[in-house]
Amino acid sequence: MTTKLFGEPVRRREDARLIVGQGRYLDDIGSAALAAAFVRSPHAHARIVGIDADAALDVEGLVAIYAYEDLTGPMAEPLPVLIPHPQLTSPRTGYPLANGEVNHVGEAVVMVVATDRYIAEDACDRIVVTYEELPVVVGVDAAREAEAAVHEEIPDNVAAVHHQETGDVEAALAAAPRTLSFTQYIERSGSIPMEGRGVHARWDADDASLRVYSSTQASTSVRAAIAAKLELSVDRVEVIAPDVGGGFGMKIVHPWPEELLVPMAAIALGQEVKWSEDRREHFISSAHERQQRQEITVGYDDDGRITALDVHVWHDNGAYTPYGIIVPIVTATQLIGPYVIPAYRVKVESVYTNTVIVTPYRGAGRPQGCYAMERTLDRIADALGMDRALVRERNLIQPDQFPYDQHLTFQDGRPVIYDSGDYPGLMAKLKALVGWDDAASLRSAAEARGKLLGIGMAMYVEGTGPGPYEGGHVQVLGSGKVLVSTGLTSQGQGHETVFAQIVASELGVPIEDVEVHTGDTRRFGYAVGTFASRAAVMSGNAVALAARGVREKALRIAADVLEADPGDLEIDDGLVQVKGTPGASIPLRTIAVLSNPLRYAFDEAAKQATQFAIPGSDDKPPVAVGDAPGLEHRDYYSPIRSTFASGAHAAVVEIDPATWEIDVVTYAVVHDCGNVVNPMIVEGQVHGGVAQGVGGALYERMAYDADGQLQNASFMDFLMPFASEVPDVVIDHQQTPSPLNPLGIKGAGEAGVIPGTAAIASAIEDATGRRIASMPIAPSQLYDLMRDENAERTMASAARTTGARA
Amino acid sequence: MKPAPFRYADPGTLDEALAVLSGEGEGAKVLAGGQSLLPLLSMRLAAPTTLVDINRLPGLDTVEATGDGVRVGALVRHAFLLHDDAAARVQPLLARATANVAHAAIRNRGTTVGSIAHADPSGEMTAVLAVTDGSVSVATPSGTSDVSWRDLFVGPLETSLHGPAVVTSAFFPAPPSRSGTAFAEVARRKGDYAVCGAAVVVTVDENRRVTAVRAAYLSVGLVPEVHDLTDAVVGKPVDSADWAAAGALARTLVDPDGDLHASADYRRLLVGALTERTLIAAAAEAAGRSL
């Protein structure tokens, strides 16, 4: 049986190509194209007084220079607010090129096009932009204090106040036997894909058509945006996402200024133009995420049960809000995780700062929410002297409570109703996997080696697979090849493999016959994009439905040929056969040929479908009413709401009290994403997520100074963990299928990153006995905390006989 | 991130290289492994008028280990030195420090002498040159001379060498008899520039009593710093000397700056911790060699 592939650890079919350098990334396209480079703002906040390009005009190889004054029509208008929301009361977006004012270092001011990138940068160096500097706002606290405004007409710097509540929190807090209030911070990091952004555009003047390659997570919407901004009919524009070297969220933002300016120049110049982002540009002009200040008040009883939760978050959205308030909404709604919260109120104030925009980065607000909730539970446990796992267990939603309505509105505008899950099951597996109950002996053993050991855990629930829809197209060719297409894009996740597994299983064909195409508007024009752990859920189900449509048609045609009832037929290994009747069969590829009645026999196989070969009925048309030629089907999956995956992580850290270096020695993950299409790919996604979680907890931060200069805008100083810093990950699985979609699956792409900061903060706190209220934390900062006489100590550390001394 | 225009020369002899350097003046830079220079060019933080590539120069790619010490030619890659057993026997600090230089890909191209000529105070090999009291051999149009590490390092990324000059080799003297060495560093990630590092030499007398303790630090000053810590432990039996006291002394002798990755105080903490850690290891080695 070759065709039961769903659920198997099929090796990633894209890897051989990508690993040996056969991938086709943006910069592999158009080697003869003109190159674009940008003059970007060196100031975080300034008025542009003048632009003098005279000195650049002498540069040999210069082709064109564009500034805001050169933009016309929709290009001269602000970039779109992609996701409007009633609570986003003061949205602001930039212009493709700065219009008189810059609001962060790195904002594009001038575009230069030259014969190559070196020359384009030479010309950029000679362009003199004169600025009048304005007061700079950096960080949530400065934005909140509002001594200066990022946008003059928004003096309080507040873009939006997102607010949801599920009960009378004031009354519940007043009635709570115990309460705790605290403030904590989490810093910025960023997606930092291996391949930055990039755009290549080619205008065919004779055909009046534009082809754009973009390293994007949303090719169909980039296409629509380009058509709108450049005033082209959408049918004249093709957008293709080639191999994309990682996105992790930031490439869902669109249209980036460069995605509009490069095609604009290609049309104007009648030549191919390409821009490939360099690393410094990526740091200062793409997108970041995660900085929040969180003020939390929780009411609970003597058993550790939460009775009320009141959360007030200040969320740094950077200079503009092109992606609306998605990250604030996700923080607000996913914060409460797998827990019963009788009364919950959340207010997220999304504030402007003179820094790079903040848009979803893997986890997309959830790591912050998880950090808020899980650290709250840790504090309750500490205050009560209870085991942190036990406090969590007492608050978990139970398996018989599904579907569980949290009475919140999610990022897709739909209710937050958990479709399925087994949270106590996750907890039980996690405790066993990490040896939670043996922590004391681990601690003693580490102390004997001169190390401080701590353990921490965190749980999460992740809404995945939001709509509105994705589509799939499956076509069987006369050669037997099965073409699968879906509009959403791939950034290396393994879509080619997973969608092929699904179609091969649904259709009953060898996976080798299946060829998958993604993110190409020439093949599939309707799509939303790859984000929010939605590709497997959305396009997975869409291609499954499309394959089922093909199967139904194939059986109908085969039934005619084999003179059998369609219900008596099966497809296996590419052969349609009558169940239990060996020999009564017909290859699927032959059905494909017969499905398309022909006049002309262009090859041997086609002869079978020509008009004198088919014994058709004289009183029926060759293609039946309501039918179509070809063995293909297009279908769409549109969910009523998101499906909610879940998981539990635990980290064990060892800290060297001589140097305060922090080593994550064990990282355990229990993961539930419903039915698993490919466990190897799911584990790979979890591993990658954990790596980014460790990075966010211990290494990565965007080090802005008070002037809004990003001090670590290179890989020398922005510290992504290397393989040497990422712990081995032990994984256990749980599968509670989703009742919401035909395949019973939930998203898995972001899960690994979500609890990292919370779990590692908890482990460090456990090891050191000092309250950890700001993450990430580096050894230098831990040292400061350890020798600070006023640093808060945990109750648990006071109860211990041994412990840390700075 | 593309370099500004520059001229390029790849002379076949040292004389030719010096002639090109003489002709180009201060705007010329010598290119060996390029692991520090090329990123500076790409970020347009440096814009030399000419790069003089010395990779074709003959005779600069050897490591010579003698009883006196190890001479490392200007084209010897870190990876080559790391795996040179004879060099490691004569001066064990070479391999111990080189193992901490960046990552394998960088060690394969980067040169030990180049990193010294680059004069980065966070470079491992600058500290090793200093703690071993080493020198470099410098060729100029008027001849070749030896320059002690003390006279070489002037400031961050700045040496005393001006005008046309090619550093053709570095010489690392062998440690004294009855001595031990150690190297350790703390970096945020494996292979990063060290937040702090220490290279130490402990010497004992025939009675296994400590006679000299010498330590060099990287990433704590503007140039590699060498401190004499002998006073903290002089005359003490090597097996029971108070190495923590030497660490404490070291903390009082340094005056590091803070940066993105470490405060000044944290660096000082590391100076103490790494001093104690390396001295314990070096003392054990010295004890073993004095039996």
- Chain segment A756-790, per-residue pLDDT in tens: 999 999 999 999 999 999 999 999 999 999 999 99
- A98 part of a folded domain: yes
- Chain segment A568-586, per-residue pLDDT in tens: 999 999 999 999 888 889 9
| 3-state class (DSSP) for residue A155 | coil
* Count of domains observed in chain A: 3
- DSSP E strand stretches across A266-388: 273-276, 292-300, 306-318, 344-352
- The per-residue pLDDT for A288 is 97
Answer yes or no: do A716 and B193 touch at CB < 8 A.
yes
Check whether residue A76 and residue A120 sit in a common domain.
Answer: yes
Check whether residue A432 and residue A572 sit in a common domain.
Answer: no
From the list A780, A772, A563, the residue with the least C-alpha distance to A660 is A780
Check whether residue A215 and residue A125 sit in a common domain.
Answer: yes
- A674 part of a folded domain: yes
Beta-carbon-side half-sphere exposure of residue A683 (alpha carbons within 13 Å) = 16
Residue A270 burial by Cβ neighbours in a 10 Å radius (0-12, 13-18, 19+): exposed
Share of chain A above pLDDT 90, in %: 93
- b/e per residue, B256-270, with b = 16+ CB within 10 A? beebebbbeebbbbb
The whole-angstrom distance between B193's CA and the closest CA on chain A is 8
Q: The domain spanning residue A409 has which CATH number?
A: 3.30.365.10
pLDDT of residue A2 exceeding 90? no
- A552 part of a folded domain: yes
- A184 part of a folded domain: no
- A559 part of a folded domain: yes
Average pLDDT over residues A271-276: 98
Give dist(CA A398, CA A421) in Å, integer. 9
Q: What residues contact residue A229 under an 8 Å CB cut-off, 6+ apart?
A: A74, A75, A96, A255, A260
pLDDT of residue A320 exceeding 60? yes
Last residue of a domain, one of A585, A618, A637: A637
| 3-state class (DSSP) for residue A219 | helix
- Chain segment B45-59, per-residue pLDDT in tens: 999 999 999 999 999
The whole-angstrom distance between A412's CA and the closest CA on chain B is 39
Q: Which residues of B touch A (CB under 8 A)?
A: 1-5, 39, 43-44, 186, 188-193, 195, 260-263, 265-266, 269-270, 273-274, 276-277
> Which parts of B30-148 fold into alpha helices (H)?
37-42, 78-82, 85-90, 93-98, 104-109, 112-118, 124-131
Q: Are A498 and A677 in contact (CB under 8 A)?
A: yes
Concatenating the DSSP letter of every residue in A516-548 gives: EEESBTTT------S-TT-IIIIIHHHHHHHHH
Per 3-state DSSP, chain A is made up of helix, strand and coil in percentages (nearest 5) of 30, 25, 45
Residue A151 burial by Cβ neighbours in a 10 Å radius (0-12, 13-18, 19+): middle
pLDDT of residue A266 exceeding 50? yes
- The per-residue pLDDT for A324 is 96
- The per-residue pLDDT for A609 is 85
- β-sheet bridge partners, residue A774: A185
Answer yes or no: do A719 and B4 touch at CB < 8 A.
no
Give dist(CA A487, CA A219) in Å, integer. 8
Check whether residue A213 and residue A76 sit in a common domain.
Answer: yes
- Chain segment A75-99, per-residue pLDDT in tens: 999 999 999 999 999 999 999 999 9
Check whether residue A729 and residue A713 sit in a common domain.
Answer: yes
CA-to-CA dists, residue A745 to A196, A254, A676, A740, B203, angstroms: 31, 28, 7, 9, 67
- Chain segment A178-204, per-residue pLDDT in tens: 999 999 999 999 999 999 999 999 999
Q: Are A653 and A665 in contact (CB under 8 A)?
A: yes
Q: Which residues of A touch B (CB under 8 A)?
A: 117-118, 121-122, 125, 278-280, 658-661, 699, 703, 711-712, 714, 716-717, 719, 721-722, 724-725, 778-780, 783-784
**Max CA separation in chain A (angstroms):** 96
- Chain segment A42-62, per-residue pLDDT in tens: 999 999 999 999 999 999 999
- A129 part of a folded domain: yes
pLDDT of residue A806 exceeding 50? no
- The per-residue pLDDT for A803 is 46
- The per-residue pLDDT for B289 is 83
Per 3-state DSSP, chain B is made up of helix, strand and coil in percentages (nearest 5) of 35, 30, 35
Q: Which two tokens stand for residue A582?
A: 């060996």
User: Which residues in B lie closer than 8 A to residue A694 (C-beta atoms)?
Assistant: none
State phi, psi for B217 to the nearest 5 degrees: -125, 145
Answer yes or no: do B269 and A721 touch at CB < 8 A.
no
Confidence of residue A605 (pLDDT cuts 50, 70, 90): confident
pLDDT of residue A282 exceeding 80? yes
- A84 part of a folded domain: yes
Share of chain B above pLDDT 70, in %: 100
- The per-residue pLDDT for A603 is 87
Q: Which domain holds residue A401?
A: 381-464+642-799
The whole-angstrom distance between A39's CA and the closest CA on chain B is 12
From the list A803, A804, A451, the residue with the least C-alpha distance to A661 is A451
pLDDT of residue A619 exceeding 90? no
Q: Are A28 and A198 in contact (CB under 8 A)?
A: no
Cis peptide before A587 (omega within 30 of 0): no
| 3-state class (DSSP) for residue A637 | strand
Q: Are A779 and A756 in contact (CB under 8 A)?
A: no
Check whether residue A444 and residue A510 sit in a common domain.
Answer: no
Q: In order of start, what are the domains of chain B with their CATH numbers?
A: 7-53 (3.30.43.10), 63-173 (3.30.465.10), 179-289 (3.30.390.50)
Average pLDDT over residues B29-55: 94
Q: Looking at per-residue confidence, does B127 or A622 come out higher?
A: B127
Check whether residue A722 and residue A786 sit in a common domain.
Answer: yes
Last residue of a domain, one of A285, A311, A341: A285
Q: What residues contact residue A786 under an 8 Å CB cut-off, 6+ apart?
A: A660, A768, A770, A804, A806
Check whether residue A391 and residue A456 sit in a common domain.
Answer: yes
Q: Which two tokens stand for residue A380?
A: 């309750």
Check whether residue A453 and residue A479 sit in a common domain.
Answer: no
Residue B61 burial by Cβ neighbours in a 10 Å radius (0-12, 13-18, 19+): middle
Q: The domain spanning residue A56 has which CATH number?
A: 3.90.1170.50
The H or E element that residue A572 is part of is strand A569-572
- The per-residue pLDDT for A409 is 94
Share of chain A above pLDDT 70, in %: 99
A385-389, B25-29, B68-72: least confident range: B25-29
- The per-residue pLDDT for A799 is 78
- Chain segment A522-535, per-residue pLDDT in tens: 999 999 999 999 99
Residue of B nearest to A279 (CA): B1
**ipTM score here?**
0.95
Check whether residue A558 and residue A580 sit in a common domain.
Answer: yes
- A14 part of a folded domain: no
- The per-residue pLDDT for A801 is 57
pLDDT of residue A804 exceeding 70? no
- The per-residue pLDDT for A595 is 93
Residue of A nearest to B193 (CA): A716
- Chain segment A685-732, per-residue pLDDT in tens: 999 999 999 999 999 999 999 999 999 999 999 999 999 999 999 999
- Chain segment B60-82, per-residue pLDDT in tens: 999 999 999 999 999 999 999 99
Q: What is the mean pLDDT of chain A?
A: 95
Q: Are A473 and A225 in contact (CB under 8 A)?
A: no
Confidence of residue A617 (pLDDT cuts 50, 70, 90): confident
Give dist(CA A61, CA B64) in Å, integer. 50
User: Which residues in A lie closer than 8 A to residue B120 (C-beta atoms)?
Assistant: none
For the CA atoms of B154, B158, B161, B163, the dihedral, rounded to the nearest 10 degrees, stands at -140
Nearest residue, CB atoms, A779 vs list B44, B266, B276: B266
The whole-angstrom distance between A723's CA and the closest CA on chain B is 9
Nearest residue, CB atoms, A659 vs list B1, B193, B270: B270
Q: Are A755 and A696 in contact (CB under 8 A)?
A: no
- Chain segment A481-530, per-residue pLDDT in tens: 999 999 999 999 999 999 999 999 999 999 999 999 999 999 999 999 99
- The per-residue pLDDT for A395 is 98
Give dist(CA A332, CA A311) in Å, integer. 8
CA-to-CA dists, residue A640 to A643, A741, A774, B261, angstroms: 9, 9, 38, 48
Give dist(CA B199, CA B192) in Å, integer. 17
Answer yes or no: do B2 and A703 touch at CB < 8 A.
no
- The per-residue pLDDT for A581 is 87
For the CA atoms of A609, A614, A617, A622, the dihedral, rounded to the nearest 10 degrees, stands at 10
Answer yes or no: do B269 and A783 touch at CB < 8 A.
yes
Answer yes or no: do B260 and A703 touch at CB < 8 A.
yes
Check whether residue A216 and residue A69 sit in a common domain.
Answer: yes
Check whether residue A692 and residue A583 sit in a common domain.
Answer: no
- Chain segment A412-444, per-residue pLDDT in tens: 999 999 999 999 999 999 999 999 999 999 999
Amino acid letter, A519: G
pTM to 2 decimal places: 0.96
Beta-carbon-side half-sphere exposure of residue B80 (alpha carbons within 13 Å) = 17
